[in-house]
Structures are given as structure tokens and as C-alpha cells.
Amino acid sequence: MSDTPWPHAPLHQIGENGVYIVTAASYQHEHFFRGAQRLAVLQRGLLKVARDFDWQLEAWAVFSNHYHFVGQSPKTAENLSEMLQILHTKMAIWVNRLDATPGRKVWHNYWETRLTFQKSYYARLKYVHHNAVRHGLVPVANQYPWCSAGWFESTADTATAKTIESFKVDQLAVKDNFEVASDW
């Protein structure tokens, strides 16, 4: 056996407070959260755990096999791993109970990036709000119930909404090579 460390997961170097974009994927991109009930529970779980850990989500989108969010960390972002571990554990237990598959691996990993430039932040907000459109699930983002687009439209002031909508997102480097289930 080699002494060479072999990377199997992204290195999470978080600690500074700030705004982060986070993507998490299900194990082998399986569609564990296919269907309205499962998507609603995953969204509710994400919003609740973020609130419990003092993360302020500004954009989110949940799908059958992954999710994204943009969120402002509390004083430090060091609790991100614990927050996601709790979310993933609870969601795995719940979905495995539904499927009568105790102990099945549900989540694979997550990737986070601290957003340090305003333009990058705005572009990623738009990207997450519109992710259901990108995946071909809806023609207009606010029609997808398990994302923040409708909430954003109803709470953002007109100038902010126009600014964010003006950003191009086709060249962004966001981990999002997922085929989502279309039956939601």
C-alpha cells in the first residue's frame, strides 16, 4: 500500500465568515428524493437546519439527487460540515425508512466555495434561483416549488431583482452535472 494520500473527496477549508455557494450530491446521483413529498421534506429540512445553525440562505434549489444553496455564514463558517452532516443524516434515515432500506448510503459529498466578489455572488444567486430552468423542469424559475425563485421575487426590491437577473450564468463553474428526475 502506498503512503501517497489519495484524494477521494474535496478538501473543505472553511472557517472564514462570508457568503458561500454549496452543492451536495446524493450517492451515485441516485434519485432518492423523487416526488413532491420527498422534495418538500428535503427543502424543509434544509431551511430548518440552516436556521438552527444561523446560516441565512439567500438562494436554494433542491432536486431528486442534489441541491444547491447560497448562504451567509454566522460569525464563522466552521459549522457548515456539522450542519450538513445533521441534514444528511436526518434525510437519509427518513428516506431509508420510506424505502425500507435501513443503513443505505444516501449522500455522497458536498462542495463549497466562498464568494468574495460581488459579481460572482450575484451570478450565483441567479444560477441557484434559476437552476430548475437549467435542468429543464420548468420554463420559468418561480414555477418550481422547491427553490427560492418565487420567494425572491416576492421579497426582493425591484432594483436588486433587476440587478441579479441581469447577470449571465452560462459560463459559471458550478458543480452541476446531474440528471434530475423530471417527475416532481
Q: Is residue 148 predicted with pLDDT exceeding 80?
A: yes
What confidence score (pLDDT) does residue 182 get?
Answer: 81
Top pLDDT among 169 and 155 is at 155
Three-state SS for 61? strand
Q: 64 near 36, Cβ under 8 Å?
A: no
Task: Assess if residue 152 is contained within a domain.
Answer: yes
In angstroms, how far is the first alpha carbon of the chain from the final one? 46
In a domain, residue 45? The reply is yes
Q: Which single residue is written with the C-alpha cell 502506498?
A: 2
Q: Is 13 part of a structural domain of the chain? A: no
CA distance 27 to 16: 28
Q: Which of 120, 119, 149, 116 is nearest to 132 (CA)?
A: 149
- Residue 129: inside a domain, yes or no? yes
Residue 14, pLDDT score: 56
Number of domains the chain contains: 1
What CATH number is given to the structural domain containing 61? 3.30.70.1290
Q: What's the pLDDT at 136?
A: 93
Q: Supply the pTM of this predicted model.
A: 0.88
Query: Could you report the per-residue pLDDT of 123-137, keeping only the tens digit for each?
Result: 999 999 999 999 999
Residue 100 pLDDT grade (very low, low, confident, very high; cuts 50, 70, 90): very high
Rg (CA), the chain: 16
% pLDDT > 90, the chain: 71
User: 129 and 62 in contact (C-beta within 8 Å)?
Assistant: no
pLDDT of residue 3: 52
Name the residue range of residue 48's domain: 19-165
Residue 5 lies in a domain: no
Residues 6+ apart with CB under 8 A from 28: 108
* 39 occurs within a structural domain: yes
